[in-house]
Amino acid sequence: MKFVLLHGPTWDAGAAGATLDAEEIERQAITALGPGAIDERPTVLLLDETLRRLLGPSGVRGAADAGASIVALGAPGESDMPADLPGAEVVSTFLTHPAGPRQLFAALKAGYREAATRVEAQRARAEIAARSKEISELTRIGVALSTERNYDVLLELILTQSRQITQSDGGSLYLVEGRDTPSPKLRFKLTQSDTLQSAGFVEFTMPLDHRSLAGYVCSTGEPLVIDDVYFLPPDVEYSFNRSFDERNDYRSKSMLTVPMKNHRDEVIGALQLINRRRDPDAKLTSPEVTEQQVIPISRRTVEIVTALAGQAAVSIENSLLYENIERLFEGFVTAAVTAIEQRDPTTFGHSGRVATMTVGLAEVVDRAGDGPYRHVNFNREQIKEIRYAGLLHDFGKVGVREQVLVKAKKLYPPDLALLKSRYAFIKRTAETEYHRKRADYLTAHGTEGYGQFLAELDQAHFEEIELLESFLKTVLTANEPSVLPEGSFEELLALAEKRFADIEGQEQAYLSDDEVRFLTIRKGSLDETERLEIESHVTHTYRFLLQIPWTKELSQIPLIAYGHHEKLDGRGYPRKVTAADIPIQTRMMTISDIFDALTAADRPYKRAVPLQRALDIMAAEVKEGMLDGELFKLFTDGKVFERLAG
């Protein structure tokens, strides 16, 4: 208990002390009531008239607010509490003048009880505030741990937050490997130190047994609290390896090692904290500083770190589970892409290349310092969303008939084979007719005039065969698809008008109407019906992707993939939407998709277009308002296509 007994020249304290002048009273008052003067001990402040005047009502109230119990002594003639005192809610006891020793003792005793109550209340409030702060801090850390999905960043965060909340200079994190195997190991995964920030660190494994501190904790599941690791009891199984300290001229002292247990109460690792400090910013640069700064691990600290270790264990397992789910989904995506490319081996690698270039273009856009997209940024999850959309943008091709999907020429192979058979039949018929006419002439006329007849017959036969060869050549040329609409088909249409007699003597055209329709396709190898069927792959893709329960971060994948054949001017497919309805992710994918379609290795239905020619074709589409000009500029200036070379 602490009593602050102050009195002035107007108060006759008798045996309480000598009479002091006003200046000395003021000095004592300042000393007694200054910062830190009223601490955890119950404090009773005895006020006489002079001290009351010096402190004033606000000073007296301040002392009471600081926790002191106020016992006021009245001046001669004061029968009631004077006006310069704040009131009964502040002053514990008021003694009228004169007051005897018994009254004074009783007042001080009552004041002490009140002061003790106030101190206990303050201590309780401080304890509640500290616990509230701890809970708030643990909650904040828990939220941070639960939202971090990068495994390595999560481990760093666990150790950093554990050191901060305990004011530890250093710490290490150990993880159990092969829990379900006969010989599990303990991996020294991570270390941190405020004092030794540049100290080298290499991961390594150690036996999971009782010889090391972390091994002991992981084996027993119980925490270890050590005030000084250099002075361990002689009968313990574990030991402390001083080699790190010796290499780095460091002194490890207080240490707390806590098991990290998951929700199944399984130990998945250990959290080790070294040298808890008085000053959280102090660097332990010498043994003297270490001795001054390092304090023992309190029981409350053990409780806090144990709770934090539990949160960390669950977060680590959740992170590993999330990574496993991601790997599983990556496997699914890979299988889906493989299924697409197995149906059309000639487009092998197309989906991966489109995804790579689209991600590359997104990163270029992210770094753009000017232009209309300078404020556009993509976070890690959005980049992942773009990549998955790129990989799966053509999955709907599984719903397209394979013969249409892999159609290399304008005519299907069986149709071309039939046409060639027709050509061979017409040619053989012409040759048969040639030989029949020769035999008929000889039968009817003998050799008379035969030479002249044969010369004329040979000339006619030669012209007929030449026409047939021209017919086949024209058909084979027309059967080749082109990248751009080009060519006229007058010669083909003229030949299509020619007739021949079939095996039954019925007159037939050299080319059927369907053959003429296919061979006069001006771009590509597909007629309108086939083109619509191919174009339906986009809708198939969209419907398929809608069936996947995407996370919120990946929810736009179906929409991004849906529009990769749309054009800004509305000439795309399948919805013919315009720029306002085409998100930037889709615009980027469209550019990548067209570039790869033009420049990919030779396919049966087209030749690869040189780089500059491909860029020229795409630049023409930009001028026509079909492609996003700013994105195309970023694509070319950033040489995004060079990523494929890596």
Would the pLDDT of 317 be above 50? yes
pLDDT digits (tens, 9 = 90+) for 145-183: 777 778 888 888 889 888 988 999 999 999 999 888 888
CA gap 519, 475 in Å, rounded: 7
The β-bridge relationship of strands 267-276 and 168-177 is antiparallel
Here the tokens at position 514 are: 């369907």
The residues with which 259 forms a beta bridge, in sequence order, are: 270
Q: What is the pLDDT of residue 596?
A: 93
Q: Which two tokens stand for residue 556?
A: 């736009």
Q: Which residues contact 531 (CB under 8 A, 6 or more apart)?
A: 524
Taken as a whole, the chain contains a residue count of 646
Decide if 596 contacts 357 (C-beta within 8 A): yes
Cβ–Cβ under 8 Å, residues 195 and 223? no
- pLDDT for the residue 18: 41
**What type of residue sits at position 345?**
P
Q: What pLDDT does 322 receive? A: 81
Q: What's the distance, Cα to Cα, between the start and end of the chain in Å?
A: 79
pLDDT exceeds cutoff 90 at 31 = no
The alpha carbon of 581 is separated from its chain's Cα centroid by a whole number of angstroms, namely: 27
Long-range CB contact pairs, 477-481, < 8 A, 24+ = 478/410, 478/519, 478/520, 479/409, 479/410, 479/411, 479/416, 479/519, 480/409, 480/410, 481/408, 481/409, 481/410, 481/521, 481/523, 481/524, 481/525, 481/605, 481/606
pLDDT per residue over 529-566, tens digit each? Answer: 888 898 899 999 999 999 999 988 899 999 999 999 99
Q: Are 226 and 212 in contact (CB under 8 A)?
A: no
CA 166 to each of CA 170, 335, 475, 497: distance values in angstroms, whole numbers, following the listed order: 10, 48, 84, 94
Nearest CA to 365 among 199, 453, 428, 357? 357
Q: How far is CA 20 from the centre of its chain?
A: 74
- Cβ count within 10 A of residue 29: 20
The CA-atom distances, in angstroms, between 347 and each of 344, 360, 483, 602 are 6, 21, 16, 10
Mean pLDDT, all residues of the chain: 85
What is the DSSP annotation of 294-346? B-PPPHHHHHHHHHHHHHHHHHHHHHHHHHHHHHHHHHHHHHHHHHHHHH-GG
Torsion, CA 320, CA 321, CA 323, CA 328, rounded to 10: 140
β-strand pairing of 168-177 with 185-193: antiparallel
Quote the DSSP letter at residue 603. B
Collect all residues with Cβ–Cβ distance below 8 Å to 371 and sequence separation of at least 6. Answer: 630, 633, 634
Rounded Cα–Cα distance for residues 644 and 543 (Å): 30
| Separation of alpha carbons 189 and 151, rounded Å | 12
Stronger pLDDT, 418 or 43, i.e. the higher one = 418
- pLDDT reported for residue 142: 72
Q: Are 219 and 209 in contact (CB under 8 A)?
A: yes
Residue 183 to residues 8, 177, 270, 271, 613, Cα–Cα distance (Å): 81, 9, 18, 21, 62
Please enumerate, as own/partner, the contacts of 492-497 that have beta carbons within 8 Å and a separation of 24 or more. 492/516, 492/519, 492/520, 493/520, 495/467, 495/470, 495/471
- Evaluate the CA torsion angle 420, 423, 425, 428 in order and state its sign: negative
Alpha carbons 394 and 564: distance in angstroms, whole number: 9
What digits encode the pLDDT tens for the residues 431-482?
A: 998 999 999 888 888 888 888 988 988 899 998 889 889 888 989 988 888 7
Q: What pLDDT score does 318 carry?
A: 84
What pLDDT is attached to residue 10? Answer: 36
Give the SS3 label for residue 547: coil
Mean pLDDT across 484-488: 61
Is 344-405+529-645 CATH 1.10.3210.10? Answer: yes
CATH number of the domain at 2-123, out of 3.30.70, 3.40.50, 2.40.10, 1.10.3470? Answer: 3.40.50
Provide the total of helices (H) and of strands (E) in the chain, helices listed first: 20, 12
Residue 254 pLDDT exceeds 90: yes
Tokens of 472: 């086949």
| pLDDT for position 282 | 93
CATH level 2 (architecture), domain 148-319: 2-Layer Sandwich (3.30)
Q: pLDDT digit string (tens) for 396-424?
A: 988 888 888 888 889 999 999 999 999 99
The CA-based dihedral angle spanning residues 279, 280, 286, 289, taken in that order and rounded to the nearest 10 degrees: 10
pTM (two decimals): 0.63
